[in-house]
Structure 1
C-alpha cells in the first residue's frame, strides 16, 4: 500500500483593526483541536479524494470574529498550544505537510506581521523540510517573510467571499500535489514563488469583485494559473484598517517555470496598478442623514443602509451608538405608525438582561452601547416595547428586539454581524416588508444584496471608517495609493522568493 503522507493543520485567524479601542481575547477564537478540525472541513474527511490520499492531523485552529487588536497574552497562549500540539504530532509520526489555515490580517500587541511570527514558531517544530501550504483571505497582508516561510500560498478570489471552502480545498490539493511529486522522486519539489507588493491600500467596499475593475482583475487570476509552468496565482487587496508596514496589496504566483511565474505575477500586478484610479465604492454613498433621506424618498423597499464605520466583520467594535442615536432622533420614526425600520445592532449586556427579565410585550427603558468605543457617541438610552427575545446565538448569545416608535432595534449581549435573512426572521422580524433595513456592514453579503430593492453605503464613523484619510495611518509604507495621489510609478518587478530551506537575503 502506498505511503499516505501525514499533514498537520494549524492556524489563527482574526481580521483586526488597530483603529478601534476594543481588544480580542483568546476565547473569541473558539479554538478547535484534533478531530474537531477535520470535522469542520468536509473535503479532507475520509471518503473524499483528499481525505483518502493523506492522513490529516489537527493541531489547533481558531477563527475569531473580526475585532480589535489581539492581546499578547491571547496570542502567546494559543500559539504555545499550537506549538505543543505540533510537537506531539511530530513525536508520534513523520510529518510530510502542513496546512496553515489563516486570515492574514491579525494584529497582536507588540508584534508586527504576526502570521509570519506564528509560522516561524511552527517551523521550529516541524522543520524546514516539511512542505507548507497557506490559505488566506484576500483582505490579508502578504509580507516577503511570510512568503519565504511557505511553499504554497493562495487566497480567495471573490469579495463578498463565496469561495472560502474552494480556496482552502485548493490549498490542500496543491499541497498534496507537491507531496506526490516528492514521493515520485522528482528532484524539484518546491515551487518557485514570485512576489510583488503593490502600493495600493483600499477598503473592501471599493474592491468588491462584483464590480469593475476588480471583476476583470480577478478574472485574470485563473488565466495566469492556467499558464504552462504555473501552479497557483493570487491577488491580495490587503487590509486597510490596520497600521503596519506590511499593509498593502500583493501578488504571488507559484510554479515550476521561473519566466512563467514572474511574467504572470507582473501581469497581475500591472493590471491592478493601472486600474487604481477606477476603484469606486460598491454603492452610492452619503452621510447617515443623506442615506436616511434617500431611503425615505424612495419607493423601493426594503431599502438597505450600511452603517459601515462600525462593521464588526471588518474589525469594528460593534458598540458604536452613533448610527442608532441619529436614527432615533428623526421625527419620522417616533410613532409606531411611521415607516418600519430595522436596525442591527448594538451590544448592551445590561440592557439585554433587563429586557429578558421584563419579558416580551413589556415596555422597558434600557441603556446600551459605547462600553468599548465611546469615541464617537456615548451610551444610548431608549424606552420601547420588547418585541422578541432569542437565546443561544453563537456570537450574540442573547438577542433582544426593542421597538421604539417604528424602529425595531436589535440589542445583543455580545456583538454579532447580521448577514442572513434568518438572522432577522428568527427574531420575529420581516426584513422584506420593512421600509428600511440598517445593518452594521460594508458591502452587502449575498443574501442581503439579493433582498435589497435598493441600498446605500453610509460613510459613518468608527474603527473601520471608510474614509481612510480620517483614520490617520502613520506606519504604512509610502508612497501609497490613494494616500499619495501624485504617486504615478511603482516597482512592479517580480521578486523571486527562495524556499524556507534557503536564507532570505
Structure 2
C-alpha cells in the first residue's frame, strides 16, 4: 500500500503582531521528510510504501503570511497529483494555525487535500491537543486524533498512533470509520489544563481507556487554542469507530466530563505578578527557583521580543547589584545581538533590547552590561548573553524556546547554580521541571497573556466559558460525521 505524508504545522496567536513567514518554517521533502518519523520502520509498517510529499513545521508564532500558506497548500496539492495512486494520507498538522485573511486554516487545507485525493483515499490526521476541530475539518478527514499529554511528551507516540490507525484500517478493508464529534463551549489556556494535575489527568486517562474498547478505533479531547480569536476556538471531542451508539455515548461522556470540570481547572503552578514571584524566589531557600514568564512564551505563539519582564528585572536591586543571580531567557533582537558581536566577549555594551515586534507591553529597553558569551545555535541563530550585575540576559537572532539544560550550558551558564531562572514558558518542560527546586508562574503581558478576559476576543462563539461564567448548560449531543 502507498501512503503519502504531508501537512503544515504551526500554532498561531492572533494577538501577537508577529507574522510567520517562509523563514520560520522547517520545510522537508523526500528522505528528509521521512527522517522526521522514526516509527515508519516499525513492524506494523512493514509492506507500506511511504510517499513523502511536503511537510512544513514552525515554532509557534503569529498568523502565517497569506502567500506563504498558499504556497504550501498549492505544493501539497500539486505533489498529491504527481505522486501516483495513494491508498492513504498521513496528514500531520497542529490544529491552531491561523492565516492572515482566513478564519479556519486547517479546514481549508483539509478541504483542498480531500479534493485533490478524491473520496476513496483515507486521510488520517495527527493534531496537538491545543488545536481546534471545527465541523468542517472533521468532515474533510477520515481519522483524527491528538496528543494525550501536556506537556507533549507523547507527541511522536501520537503521530505513530495516527499512522498505525490508518495502516490497520486500510488492511482491515473496513473503510472509513464513523466519527462522533461534539464541541464543548470552554476555552482555557494550556497552563490550566496540564495533564500533570487534575482534572485533566483523569479526563485524559479516561480517553485512553475508551480508545481501547472493542468497537472504538480512537478517542481524543482537544482543549482548543486560547490565543486565537476565531469561531472554531473551543474544546472538542471526537470518538471514532464502527459501533455508532457506543462512540456517541463515549463522546458524550467525555464532553460532559470536560464541561462539568470547567471551573475546576487551575494553573499548573502557583501564580502571581512578576514582582511577587521574584520576591518569593529571592526570599526562598530553594535553588534554583524557576519563574515562568508566561505572557510572551514563544512555544505558545508569543513574538519572543516582549521586553517588559527584562525592564522590570533591571529595577530590582538584588539583581542589578549582584547580591543575587538570575538568568532571563530570552529576547529576540538581531540588532542587539549584532551590537554584542561587534563589542566582543568581555567588553562593555549598551543595547536597546526587544520591544520592536511586539511593543505593546514595553518598547525597547536599555540594557547596559558586559558581553558574557557569544555562540551559534541552530534554532536561535547567533546568541548573546549580556551580564548586568547578577542578571544574565539572553538575546537571540531568531525566536527560540529555552527548554533544555544544554540551551543554557552551551552559553556558559549553569542554571542549577543560579538563584532565579526566568524563562519565557508556560508549564515547565520535563528537564526544567526536574531542575526546579521550586517554581512559580508569573502572569506577565504579551501575545499569549494568561488573562484571557483582558486580551479582547471578539470573534469567538458566545456564550463560552470562562467569558460567560453563568452560561446555561450546553447541548453536548454528539453528531455523527
What TM-score does the superposition give when structure 1 sets the normalisation length?
0.94
Match of 1:112? 103
Cα deviation 1:92-111 (Å, max 9, x = unaligned)? x3210001100000000111
Q: CA RMSD in A?
A: 0.9
8 Å contact kept, 2:45–2:167: no
Match of 1:185? none
8 Å contact kept, 1:201–1:482: yes
Cα deviation 1:333-369 (Å, max 9, x = unaligned)? 1223x21100000112111112112221111111221
8 Å contact kept, 1:35–1:57: no
Match of 1:295? 281
Q: Distance in 2 between matches of 1:172 and 1:354?
A: 47
Question: Given the alignment of the two structures, is residue 15 of structure 1 paired with residue 1 of structure 2, yes or no?
Answer: no
Match of 1:386? 371
Question: Given the alignment of the two structures, is residue 155 of structure 1 paired with residue 146 of structure 2, yes or no?
Answer: yes
Match of 2:178? 192
8 Å contact kept, 1:227–1:260: no
Cα deviation 1:301-322 (Å, max 9, x = unaligned)? 1111111000010000010000
Displacement of 1:394: 2.4
8 Å contact kept, 2:177–2:240: yes
Specify the SS of the correspondent of 1:146: helix
Question: Given the alignment of the two structures, is residue 102 of structure 1 paired with residue 87 of structure 2, yes or no?
Answer: no
Match of 2:390? 406
Structure 2, unmatched stretches of 5+, are: none
Displacement of 1:30: 1.5
Matching residue within 31, 43, 60 for 2:54: 60
- Describe how 1:421-436 pairs up with structure 2 within 5 A: 421-436=405-420
- Describe how 1:268-417 pairs up with structure 2 within 5 A: 268-336=254-322, 338-391=323-376, 393-417=377-401
Match of 1:502? none
8 Å contact kept, 2:225–2:233: yes
Displacement of 1:325: 0.3
8 Å contact kept, 2:114–2:141: no
Displacement of 1:190: 1.1
Displacement of 1:27: 2.2
Cα deviation 1:205-249 (Å, max 9, x = unaligned)? 000000100000101001111222101000000000000000000
8 Å contact kept, 1:16–1:315: yes
Match of 1:135? 126
Q: Distance in 1 between matches of 2:47 and 2:104?
A: 33
Displacement of 1:51: 3.9
8 Å contact kept, 2:45–2:164: no
Matching residue within 165, 170, 178 for 1:174: 165
Q: Distance in 2 between matches of 1:94 and 1:163?
A: 32
What TM-score does the superposition give when structure 2 sets the normalisation length?
0.99
Cα deviation 1:35-78 (Å, max 9, x = unaligned)? 21111111113xx2244231001111011110111110110111
Matching residue within 96, 116, 136 for 1:145: 136
Matching residue within 466, 469, 473 for 1:482: 466
Specify the SS of the correspondent of 1:221: helix
Displacement of 1:269: 0.7
